[in-house]
Amino acid sequence: MLVISVICSFRKLSVEHITHICLLAAYVWFTDSLPNIIPITENGTIDDRVLHFEAKLSVVCLVNVKFGEMWLYGLLLLSLSFWTSHSMFKIPLKMFAGKFNASVQLDLKPLRKIESAVESGLSLASDPAGIVNFLDMINNLKGDSGRGYYMQMVIGTPGQTLNILVDTGSSNFAVAAAAHPYIIHYFNRALSSTYQSSGSGVAVKYTQGEWEGELGTDRITIPQGPSGTITINIAAIISSEGFFLPGINWQGILGLAYPLLARPDPSVEPFFNSVVRQTSIPDVFSLQMCGAGVSASTTADPAGGSLIMGGVEPTLFRGLVWYTPVLEEWYYQVEVLKLEVGAQNLNLDCKEYNSDKAIVDSGTTLLRLPGIVFSAVVEAIMQSSLIEDFSAGFFDGTKLACWMRGESPWRLFPKISIYLRAMNTSQSFRITILPQLYIQPVTSIDGTLDCFRFGISQSANGLVIGATVMEGFYVIFDRAQKRVGFAVSTCAEKGGVPFAELAGPFLAEDTTSDCTSGMSLREPVMWVMAYGLMGICALVLIILLILLILPCRRNRDGEITDESSLVRHRIK
């Protein structure tokens, strides 16, 4: 009876329909079992990597896409193929300008302990074991105007020197391994006696570029990093499209996130994991990016910064350090409780701020906000700004705003504050950026106008605390204690006035519940759905086999009693 009931429920489905359902289930299972290589998170509506301006005040891009008709099962197939994607990558790009002169503010006192009554931790100016000297790492980053922060590394035997872009939002160490018209040199594997190929390929696609290559291992040294030689996994980029750009001064990318984001799979040990394992330094690194408030078109004095591997350098920040928990070890995912524009609370459900995820990512140029949050922020800025009838094109990234040279637009805009949950989960703390960080100078026109862009953009992949915010703070990635720390940076200031503020603690009574629950379908859920669909298909196939093998019951007149078209056309 059960078999007959199931047959009746499917009696109106043709063999073609059932085949499509089964193929759909097999596709979902197959694609979910493969390493996911997902397009990157967008880095603003203006192309952050190539800033071409032709004395115009607006840049407008219109894209018309016309979709043809498709069947329902095609839509389901497309939707499920996107659901299986859970890791997001992006090309690390930032705005930066200005250079921090470390010698002005260096304090060469011996080991110094920084304690806070609320948040505590040990900060050392050097490592007693002699593996690292944090003072030697100060200003080890250089800025490629509008395109990222990079550090010098020596790869292979004999050593080949390359500049490597620093990114906390991915986990692969990848370098150019073939000639390219936009780079001046590359890593020649044939010249390195210590390079070993794994024989495996790897490919990463980005919104604005992609590359393919092979996996291997080799030795590296970092002139302004931990002492000694380290053996690491290297993705040798053989071919690329839209990844290397005209005028760049870097030849590879250094991913500093967790193994879960490594490609082609998490078994590829990321760079910093290898450094910690082989040198025994603490599983902590900290980052200062000094590019706030100076035009991206500045070439005489490119931005600087510091990547401190193994701990915290106290001369790079002032005041207390506040920590927020890392919720999950893939990206540096944190929990945002609320946003304020000026003194105005946006009054959104805290889950909106964490829609999909909220991460801290040096590789994203802008502060990126989910659609609902972005709209609320823009509305609040327009209401509180002293500018009347401001063009909407400025906020969506299609227009630049220009003022006469010498005039400062920053006084016309409000502060923006982000509240993060503290390690004491009943408390929160606030990081605040001044307009100098999110109203960003980009270029000048005819020597009479200074033009600026909006350093905040809309995101379809969650909230990203990118370089727009990070350039105001000294950010500590304390992986050992699963937390990210913020302190006011010593280089984000002008005339002694900082561009960022830090305050706390605040009670989090109104946001004591989990602001991240139920925000996205993660991999385990998709596995359950895929296997469930496969189970249904298996049941249907079993029923079809039974129908084909067993003889059909006939009535006394010898006619087939089951009027199903499937059975009628199969049995004569």
Residues involved in catalysis: 167, 361
Phi, psi of 203 (to 5 degrees): -145, 140
Q: Report in angstroms the alpha-carbon separations of 81 from 19, 76, 412, 492.
A: 18, 8, 46, 43
Q: Report in angstroms the alpha-carbon separations of 153 from 92, 140, 181, 284, 460.
A: 18, 10, 21, 20, 34
Exposure string (b/e) for 228-262, b if CB count within 10 Å is 16 or more?
eebebbbbbbbebeebbbeebbbbbbbbbbbebbb
Contacts of 377 (CB under 8 A, 6+ apart): 339, 341, 346, 369, 416, 456
Amino acid in position 100: F
Q: Max CA-CA distance within the chain? A: 105
Residue 31: closest CA among 23, 39, 42: 23
Give the containing element (helix H, strand E) for 547.
Answer: helix 523-549
Do residues 476 and 321 lie in contact, with contact meaning Cβ atoms separated by under 8 Å? yes
Give the containing element (helix H, strand E) for 304.
Answer: strand 304-309
Q: Report in angstroms the alpha-carbon separations of 266 from 24, 170, 259, 261, 472.
A: 27, 12, 5, 7, 32
In 136-264, the DSSP E strands lie at 141-144, 148-155, 160-167, 173-176, 196-206, 209-221, 230-241, 252-255
Do residues 296 and 442 lie in contact, with contact meaning Cβ atoms separated by under 8 Å? yes
